């Protein structure tokens, strides 16, 4: 190899390293604490009379926290129809009112790809454990909102360039056994987000949906895959099988290959995989396409709020694909967390194992880094108050010295 080629290769390698966007420096994420939120999320939040007091108190808790973090909070009410019986055995239907709680960190909104949404359901579906679905997603959402605002608005080291919206969705009817009404995410996109981005997809950067993100399991055969899996995700099937069919990954599910979707998932996975410690879990990139076999695992993915972004119809009934990624532990495709519990019935503190907390914390960390790399800019180092005081003392001293010698 000639010297010239070597030099060229070195230069190219240098460029490649420098390329991946802004560095995320100076963010303090050492104090992630999801357990504090999770302890308040162990009771049912299915929309029925006897859960109303708990539903109200969780809604108020979310709004209080968001306000405290410095977000502008709005509550979006909507009416929908649910099955009165959460097990879906009887079919009496009732109309209920739901409330999406929205926290806005406002900066520039009308810029290409400007607005990012981070969202999670805060109700529970009457079947899954309320801490797993979707207490964990909500706890992560609140921690992401807290760490983003603490490091951005309060530290003074970052400036938010673009608007970020944190939303806790109420009443995901798609996850109920048999509720006919539209879920909170549908109303959020149609009636809140679309007007907020001026009816123009250009201003939307994408959504990150956190749905069922705590159930990591390192036991062999704790993960099942669907019948069509081999055809849909062959490489992933091989990885999971060779690893002993463990439930040791977080799935990042996206739809299609439009530029904004590709950018969204590359930025998220880049931030997830950056600064990897010796973690036992990993991120699996699961890309859906239109016309894919309608498999049982795909059927599950489209019950989460991401589906309303992927299938949004504007006022002219034209479909507009709003980019969104779903983060999920694959929920029912992984061993039920309650079955691994030491006590019967399972106590909340037995469910919050170190492994599970660590798994959620990683998602929080990656999402915070993702937001900083995309929505904010690190400001140049400012001289601190103490050092500028020192330098003014020095100036005074110099002036005095100068006087003495004149
Ligand atoms: C929901 O329905 C109730 C009763 O019909 C009504 O009072 C309320 O205004 C409705 N809420 C919304 C947001 O439409
Ligand atoms: C982001 O905001 C900072 C501080 O206001 C500004 O200096 C910087 O130019 C902005 N960056 C972009 C890409 O708008
Ligand atoms: C969306 O906004 C962009 C940038 O301002 C503009 O060029 C475009 O025409 C808008 N699209 C629609 C449908 O209004």
What pLDDT was estimated at residue 291?
86
Q: Is the CB of 299 under 6 A from ligand 1?
A: no
Average pLDDT rounded to a whole number, residues 350-361: 95
What distance lies between CA 87 and its chain's CA centroid?
A: 28
Model confidence band, residue 23 (pLDDT cutoffs 50, 70, 90) = low
Q: What is the pLDDT, as a whole number, of residue 43?
A: 96
Strand partners, 82: 94
| Closest residue by CA, ligand 2 atom 13 | 161
Ligand 3 pocket test, candidate residues 202, 260, 314, most atoms within 8 A of CB: 202
- Among all ligands shown, which has an atom nearest to the Cα of 170? 1
CATH class entry, domain 29-381? alpha beta
Distance CA 197, CA 186 (A): 16
Residue 213 has pLDDT above 90, yes or no: yes
DSSP annotation of 297: H
Mean pLDDT throughout 337-359?
88
Quickly tell me which residue has 């969705």 as its tokens: 169
Ligand nearest to the CA of 161: 2
Phi/psi region, residue 21 (left: phi>0; alpha: psi -120 to 50; beta: rest), is left
Instruction: Give the C-alpha separation, 116 to 4, whole Å.
Output: 45
Distance CA 136, CA 214 (A): 6
Q: Is 121 exposed, middle or buried (0-12, 13-18, 19+ CB in 10 A)?
A: buried
pLDDT band at 368 (very low <50, low <70, confident <90, very high): very high
Per-residue confidence (pLDDT) for residue 362, from 0 to 100? 96
Angle at 285 between CA 267 and CA 169, to 5 degrees: 75
- Is residue 394 over pLDDT 60? no
Is any ligand 1 atom within 6 A of the Cβ of residue 79? yes
The predicted-structure confidence for 283-336, as pLDDT tens digits, reads as follows 999 999 988 887 999 999 999 999 999 999 999 999 999 999 999 999 999 999
For residue 15, name the pLDDT band (cuts at 50, 70, 90): very low
pLDDT in the model for residue 5: 38
pLDDT band at 349 (very low <50, low <70, confident <90, very high): confident
Q: 285 exposed, middle or buried (CB, 10 Å; 0-12, 13-18, 19+)?
A: middle
Residue nearest to atom 13 of ligand 3 (CA): 200
Compute the mean pLDDT over every residue in the chain, rounded to the nearest whole number. Answer: 88
Compute the distance from residue 125 Cα to the ligand 1 centre, in Å.
22
The maximal CA–CA distance of the chain, rounded, in angstroms, is 98
pLDDT value at 6 more than 80: no
The whole-model pTM stands at 0.89
CA–CA separation, 284 vs 294, rounded Å?
20
| pLDDT > 70 in the chain, percent | 87
User: Where in the chain are the domains?
Assistant: 1-17+385-406, 29-381
DSSP letters for 149-163: HIIIIITSSEEE-B-
The pLDDT assigned to 379 comes to: 87
Q: Do residues 68 and 145 touch, judged by C-beta distance below 8 A?
A: no
Give the alpha-carbon dihedral of 307, 310, 314, 316, to 10 degrees.
Answer: -110
pLDDT of residue 129: 93
Query: Model confidence at 152, in pLDDT bands (50, 70, 90)?
Result: confident
Q: Output the CA torsion 73→356→209→367 (10° steps).
A: 70
Q: Is the CB of 78 under 6 A from ligand 1?
A: yes
Q: Is the CB of 202 under 6 A from ligand 3?
A: yes
Does the beta carbon of 77 lie inside 6 Å of ligand 1? yes
Q: Are 210 and 364 in contact (CB under 8 A)?
A: no
- 3-class secondary structure, 135: helix
Minimum mean pLDDT range among 9-18, 62-71, 147-156: 9-18
Is 377 a pocket residue for ligand 2 (Cβ < 6 Å)? Answer: yes
Looking at residue 7, its pLDDT comes to 39
* Residue 154 pLDDT level (bands cut at 50, 70, 90): confident
- Per-residue pLDDT tens digits for 72-104: 999 999 999 999 999 989 989 999 999 999 999
Query: What is the pLDDT at residue 382?
Result: 66
**In b/e form, how buried is each residue of 156-181, taking b as 16+ CB within 10 angstroms?**
ebbebebbbbbbbbbbbbbbbeebeb
pLDDT above 90 (res 405): no
């Amino acid at each position: 190899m000639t010297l010239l080629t070597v030099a060229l290769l070195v230069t190219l390698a240098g460029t490649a390293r420098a390329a991946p966007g802004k560095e995320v420096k100076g963010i303090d994420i050492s104090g992630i604490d999801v357990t504090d939120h999770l302890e308040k999320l162990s009771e049912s939040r299915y929309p029925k009379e006897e859960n109303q007091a708990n539903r109200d108190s969780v809604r108020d808790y979310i709004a209080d926290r968001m306000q405290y973090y410095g977000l502008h909070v709005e509550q979006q009410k909507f009416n929908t129809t649910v099955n009165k019986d959460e097990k879906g055995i009887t079919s009496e239907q009732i109309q209920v009112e739901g409330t999406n709680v929205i926290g806005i960190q406002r900066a520039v909104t009308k810029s290409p790809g400007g607005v990012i949404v981070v969202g999670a359901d805060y109700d529970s579906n009457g079947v899954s454990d309320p801490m797993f679905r979707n207490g964990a997603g909500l706890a992560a959402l609140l921690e992401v909102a807290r760490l983003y605002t603490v490091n951005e608005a309060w530290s003074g080291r970052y400036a938010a360039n673009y608007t970020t919206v944190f939303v806790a969705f109420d009443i995901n009817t798609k996850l109920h056994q048999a509720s006919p009404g539209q879920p909170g995410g549908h109303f959020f996109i149609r009636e809140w987000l679309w007007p907020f981005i001026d009816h123009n997809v250009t201003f939307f950067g994408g959504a990150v949906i956190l749905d069922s993100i705590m159930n990591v399991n390192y036991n062999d055969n704790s993960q099942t895959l669907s019948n069509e899996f081999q055809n849909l995700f062959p490489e992933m099937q091989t990885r999971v099988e060779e690893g002993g069919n463990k439930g040791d990954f977080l799935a990042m599910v996206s739809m299609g290959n439009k530029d904004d979707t590709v950018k969204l998932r590359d930025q998220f996975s880049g931030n997830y995989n950056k600064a990897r410690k010796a973690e036992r879990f990993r991120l699996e990139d699961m890309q859906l396409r239109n016309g894919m076999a309608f498999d049982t695992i795909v059927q599950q993915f489209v019950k989460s709020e991401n589906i309303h972004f992927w299938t949004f119809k504007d006022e002219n009934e034209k479909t507009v694909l709003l980019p969104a990624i779903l983060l999920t532990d694959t929920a029912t495709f992984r061993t039920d967390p309650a079955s691994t519990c030491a006590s019967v019935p399972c106590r909340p503190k037995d469910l919050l194992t170190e492994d599970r907390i660590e798994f959620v914390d990683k998602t929080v960390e990656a999402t915070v880094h993702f937001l900083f790399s995309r929505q904010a800019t690190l400001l140049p180092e400012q001289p601190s108050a103490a050092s500028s005081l020192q330098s003014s003392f020095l100036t005074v001293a110099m002036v005095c010295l100068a006087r003495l010698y004149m």
